[in-house]
Amino acid sequence: MKFSFMTLADIDEIGFFGCAETLGYDAVWVADSQMLYSDVYAVCALALQQTRRIRVGPGTAICGTRIPPVQVAAMATLNRLAPGRAMLGIGTGNTAMRTMGQKPMTIAAFGEYLRVLRALLDGETVDYAYGGKPRPVRMLRHEDRFMNLEPRIPLYVSGFGPRAMALAGEYGDGLIFAIPPRGVPVQEALGHARQGAARGGRDMTGFRNASLLNVVLLEPGEAVDSDRVKHAVGPNIMASVYYFYDTVHERGIDPPPFLSRIWKPYCALVEQTQPEHRHFRTHEFHYHDLHPGEADLIDAQLIRDTCIVGTADELVERIRQMAADGLEEMILAAGTSAKWRFAEEFSRLVMARL
């Protein structure tokens, strides 16, 4: 099992990457959301310059805000700075698009984007339609100057539904997905990826899987819904609520059962903001803060419904089971200031025993 972090693109916290490296983590994935955080590629470049071993890359970069050649140029530049340590996670971009009042990229468009991205990362010539005009394109000077496509840059596709998971198998070197309590079992996700691989005539040799997780490491005797826990993972929990707020209202469906008891009071909080500005408010504190009134909605059950919770002993056993189920990398989601303490304690109390 590999252990890594997903943190926010924060130009003022480059020191966290060195901290994670010293503590033995394998990688740090950096969230990309242009209306909220520092530029993801600037942060990754600085992080790679100030570390020596750890892998670093967008987790995940957003398709709707950068065309494939721009995405590849940025990654190949990172790969020149730190050959073999740059990695690319790519996704349709729920928060990055929602904060502009736009919807994420459709799965069909995502598949076309990945087709072009995969070919360019491999140094191939590929037909690409820009402005509606298809033309053959390739990265021109990667062999000797400016950027490196070698060592090969691993491409992880973010997929939380069957069709996106299949695209990971068709075009990616790995899959980023969610396991229970809010996702699917590892082998089910890999089954979808294998279907995509078969469609693309690829095998799954060397294919990796990684799950983005909210993890709560309880102190002995600590309540699941303590103030400390709410501060540490409250924003992670509310990110799920924000996602379903958009989905429920766009599709005219009921909220999922785990949110039913807080749904009306949460909607009342959001609806204090005028309708045309609600896309500012809904995702404004994504993974790093709470709006007034949100902490009151978070109880022990909601934490258990959205997080893996336990003492060090309990987490060790849970992680051993995850590994037995086939999970290869745990990506620990952390956006608040609590990540520094959590990184140290998780390394010392949990990772050291595995």
What pLDDT is stored for residue 86 in this prediction? 98
CA distance 90 to 70: 13
H or E segment to which residue 231 belongs: helix 227-251
The half-sphere exposure of 236 on its side-chain side, counting CA atoms within 13 A, is 30
User: Is it true that the peptide bond before 181 is cis, omega within 30 degrees of 0?
Assistant: yes
* Tens of pLDDT, residues 134-191: 999 999 988 889 999 999 999 999 999 999 999 999 999 999 999 999 899 999 999 9
Cα(301)–Cα(323) distance, integer angstroms: 25
Report angle CA 232, 2, 197 to the nearest 5 degrees: 110
Domain boundaries, the chain: 2-214+309-353, 227-303
Output the pLDDT for position 144: 86
pLDDT of residue 143: 84
**Nearest by Cα to 266 from 241, 299, 300:** 241
> What is the homologous superfamily of the domain 2-214+309-353 according to CATH?
Luciferase-like domain (3.20.20.30)
pLDDT per position in the chain (354 positions), as tens?
999 999 999 999 999 999 999 999 999 999 999 999 999 999 999 999 999 999 999 999 999 999 999 999 999 999 999 999 999 999 999 999 999 999 999 999 999 999 999 999 999 999 999 989 999 999 998 888 999 999 999 999 999 999 999 999 999 999 999 999 989 999 999 999 999 999 999 999 999 999 999 999 999 999 999 999 999 999 999 999 999 999 999 999 999 999 999 999 999 999 999 999 999 999 999 999 999 999 999 999 999 999 999 999 999 999 999 999 999 999 999 999 999 999 999 999 999 999
Q: What type of residue sits at position 263?
A: W
pLDDT of residue 63: 96
DSSP 273: S
pLDDT in tens, 222-231: 999 999 999 9
Q: Angle at CA 94, nearest 5°, toward 92 and 95?
A: 130
Report the pLDDT value the prediction gives residue 141, as an integer from 0 to 100. 85
pLDDT of residue 46: 98
Half-sphere exposure of 327 (CA within 13 A, CB side): 25
Cβ contact 166:192 at 8 Å: yes
